[in-house]
Amino acid sequence: RRLDLHFHSSVHLLISVLGIVLNVFVLMVFCLHKKACTTPEIYLSNMAAADLVLVSFLPFWANYISNYYNWIFGEVMCKIAKMIIIMNSFCSIYFLVLVSIDRYLALVHPLSFKRIRTPFFAKLGCLLVWILGFSFGVPTFIFRKVVKNYDKNICTTVNLSYTTVFTSQSLNLAFGFIVPVSIIVFCTVKIIKILRSRPMEGVNAKKTEQKATTLVLAVLLAFLICWVPYHLLGISVLLPITECSTRKVFYICGQIFSYLAYFNSVLNPILYIIVGKNFRKKVQELFRQWKNKRFLIVSKTSTSKTLSGNRNSADSTNRTENVSSIEL
Selection from 268, 327, 296, 202 nearest residue 24 by Cα:
268
Distances 35 to 69, 282, 292 between C-alpha atoms, Å: 47, 9, 16
Has residue 303 been placed in a domain? no
Say what the alpha-carbon torsion angle 149, 151, 156, 157 is, to the nearest 10 degrees: 30
User: Does 121 reside within a domain?
Assistant: yes
Amino acid at 126: C
Q: Which domain holds residue 69?
A: 2-285
Task: Answer for the pair 124, 46: CB distance below 8 angstroms, yes or no.
Answer: no
List 149's β-bridge partners, or say none: 152
CA gap 145, 78 in Å, rounded: 7
- Other CB atoms within a 10 A radius of the CB of residue 76 amount to 11
pLDDT recorded at residue 198: 63
Question: Using H for helix, E for strand and C for coil, what is the string for the chain?
Answer: CHHHHHHHHHHHHHHHHHHHHHHHHHHHHHHHCCCCCCHHHHHHHHHHHHHHHHHHCHHHHHHHHHCCCCCCCHHHHHHHHHHHHHHHHHHHHHHHHHHHHHHHHHHHCCCCCCCCCCHHHHHHHHHHHHHHHHHHHHHHHHHEEEEEECCEEEEEECCCCHHHHHHHHHHHHHHHHHHHHHHHHHHHHHHHHHHHHHHHHCCCCCHHHHHHHHHHHHHHHHHHHHHHHHHHHHHHHHCCCCCHHHHHHHHHHHHHHHHHHHHHHHHHHHHHHHCCHHHHHHHHHHHHHHHHHHHHHHHHHHHHHHHHHHHHHHHHHHHHHHHHHHHC
- Tell whether 313 is covered by a domain: no
Any domain includes 320 = no
Q: How many domains does the chain have?
A: 1
For position 318, what pLDDT does the model report? 55
> What per-residue confidence (pLDDT) applies to 325?
47
In whole angstroms, give the CA distance from residue 178 to residue 269. Answer: 25
How far does Cα 170 stand from its chain's mean position? 26
**Can you give the pLDDT at residue 244?**
72
| Contacts of residue 173, Cβ cutoff 8 Å, sequence gap at least 6 | 231, 234, 235
| Burial grade of 211 (CB within 10 A; 0-12, 13-18, 19 or more) | middle
Q: Exposure pattern of 3-16 as b/e (b: 16+ CB <10 Å)?
A: eeeeebbebbbbbb
| Residue 19 confidence (pLDDT) | 93
Dihedral sign for Cα 293, 294, 300, 304, please: positive
Tell me, yes or no, whether 325 lies in a domain.
Answer: no
Residue 210 belongs to a domain: yes
Predicted local distance difference test score (pLDDT) of residue 159: 75
Residue 68: the pLDDT is 84
261 domain residue, yes or no:
yes
Using CA atoms, how far residue 303 sits from 44, 56, 186, 309, in Å, is: 42, 44, 61, 10
| Phi-psi label, residue 206: left if phi above 0, alpha if psi -120 to 50, beta otherwise | beta
> pLDDT tens digits, the chain, 328 residues: what are they?
566 778 888 999 999 999 999 999 999 888 887 778 888 889 989 999 999 999 999 999 999 988 888 999 989 999 999 999 889 888 988 998 998 898 888 888 877 777 888 889 999 999 999 999 999 899 889 889 999 888 889 998 877 777 877 788 888 888 888 898 899 889 888 888 887 776 544 444 456 666 667 777 888 888 888 888 888 887 766 666 667 777 777 778 888 888 888 898 898 888 887 777 777 888 888 888 777 777 666 666 666 656 555 555 555 555 555 544 444 3
Task: Establish if 143 belongs to a structural domain.
Answer: yes
Query: What is the pTM assigned to this prediction?
Result: 0.81
Query: Nearest-CA neighbor of 61 among 158, 155, 131?
Result: 155
71 Rama sector, left if φ>0, alpha if ψ -120 to 50, beta otherwise: beta
The CATH number of residue 108's host domain is 1.20.1070.10
